[in-house]
């Protein structure tokens, strides 16, 4: 009898260990909500697509607001929540770490904000905050680590660019809107990006949108101290960083929108910019195109 019971116990243990653990269920539900990244950090707004039950991880798009705006304001003005519903991705829209005006600005080290102040050492580390938010969403079973993207408007576009420089392993692609940068302006020659301030460890695909009538962040360069060099210089620098070997090509994708592309880049990356003729400093991105361009990229696990 003792031998029989021992064999029975061993058989039961074998069966139990053979059953895979249940996949973690994300605590979010369809629609708008919030998610706290932990350690007492401020929760971020999130929008989960209609019909999703939290039972499988989704692609994530981080949406970063412009200077003096809020995450909730950016969620409304961008229209990306409807795109998330249509294509089944999670949208997160956090607030920047520095209060300014009626909203917030992002902490890009060494670069003055729109109020002309360089963030001090006591300000929130927005790179750590945003990458920590991604990590917690992945750990909670909400997000597919290989399909994390970031986009943002103006100051949020510059923060998007900065994340590509310093946290490329987190993002499969970045999509700055009226805010593409490739590092800080070079102090000795602000018409060029400073190579020392943007040295990503791996290639990261860049999909940028801008208007050629933008007078705040002009594509021809100039403007405020945080801007200076041209959008074309930023594109060229990203193409260099990504090891793109094919010559740049230009084509019209709509009657008033042309696209500049650098291809044959390392690890399947790309650099693409869409310029809207006659458009100024606003959300000029076509959301369907933005998602189509972002979603064709994926990080290895």
CATH of the domain at 180: 3.40.50.1820
pLDDT of residue 11: 46
Number of domains in the chain: 1
CA atoms of 159 and 184, how far apart (whole Å) = 11
Tell whether 186 is covered by a domain. yes
Examine residue 12 and state whether it is found in any structural domain, yes or no: no
Q: Which domain holds residue 216?
A: 28-295
The answer to whether 280 and 213 are in contact (CB under 8 A) is yes
Residue 17 lies in a domain: no
Q: What is the pLDDT of residue 120?
A: 85
105 found inside a domain:
yes
Q: Residue 23 has what pLDDT? A: 53
Structural domain contains residue 107 = yes
Residue 7 counted as domain residue: no
Alpha carbons 145 and 37: distance in angstroms, whole number: 16
Euclidean distance between CA atoms 152 and 98, whole angstroms: 16
Mean pLDDT, each 10-residue run in order, the chain (301 residues): 45 41 75 91 96 95 98 98 98 96 93 84 93 97 98 98 98 98 96 97 98 98 93 98 97 98 96 98 98 95 74
Q: What is the pLDDT of residue 24?
A: 66
Residue 290 phi, psi dihedral angles, 5° rounding: -60, -50
| pLDDT at residue 197, rounded to an integer | 96
Half-sphere exposure (Cβ direction) of 90: Cα atoms closer than 13 Å: 32
Examine residue 211 and state whether it is found in any structural domain, yes or no: yes
pLDDT value of position 2: 47
Q: Collapsing DSSP states into helix, strand and coil, what is residue 38?
A: coil
- Is residue 8 situated within a structural domain? no
Helix (H, G, I), strand (E, B) or coil at 292: helix
């Amino acid at each position: 009898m003792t031998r029989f019971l021992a064999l029975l116990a061993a058989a039961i243990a074998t069966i139990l260990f053979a059953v895979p653990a249940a996949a973690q269920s994300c605590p979010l539900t369809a629609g708008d909500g919030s998610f706290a990244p932990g350690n007492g950090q401020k929760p971020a707004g999130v929008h989960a697509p209609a019909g999703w039950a939290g039972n499988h991880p989704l692609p994530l798009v981080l949406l970063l607001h412009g200077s003096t705006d809020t995450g909730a304001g950016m969620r409304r003005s961008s229209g990306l929540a409807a795109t998330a519903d249509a294509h089944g991705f999670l949208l997160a829209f956090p607030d920047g770490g520095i209060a300014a005006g009626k909203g917030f600005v992002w902490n890009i080290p060494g670069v003055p904000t729109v109020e002309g102040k360089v963030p001090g050492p006591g300000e929130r580390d927005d790179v750590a905050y945003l990458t920590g938010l991604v990590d917690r969403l992945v750990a909670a079973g909400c997000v597919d680590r290989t399909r994390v993207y970031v986009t943002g408007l103006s100051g949020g576009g510059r923060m998007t660019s900065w994340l590509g420089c310093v946290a490329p392993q987190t993002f499969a692609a970045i999509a700055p809107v009226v805010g593409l940068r490739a590092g800080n302006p070079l102090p000795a020659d602000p018409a060029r990006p400073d190579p020392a301030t943007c040295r990503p460890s791996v290639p990261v695909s860049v999909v940028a949108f801008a208007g050629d009538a933008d007078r705040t962040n002009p594509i021809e360069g100039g403007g405020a101290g945080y801007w200076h060099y041209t959008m074309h210089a930023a594109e060229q620098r990203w193409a260099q960083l990504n090891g793109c070997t094919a010559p740049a090509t230009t084509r019209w994708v709509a009657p008033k929108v042309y696209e500049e592309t650098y291809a044959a880049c390392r690890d399947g990356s790309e650099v693409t910019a869409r310029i809207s003729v006659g458009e100024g400093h606003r959300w000029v991105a076509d959301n369907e195109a933005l998602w189509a361009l972002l979603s064709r990229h994926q990080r290895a696990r």
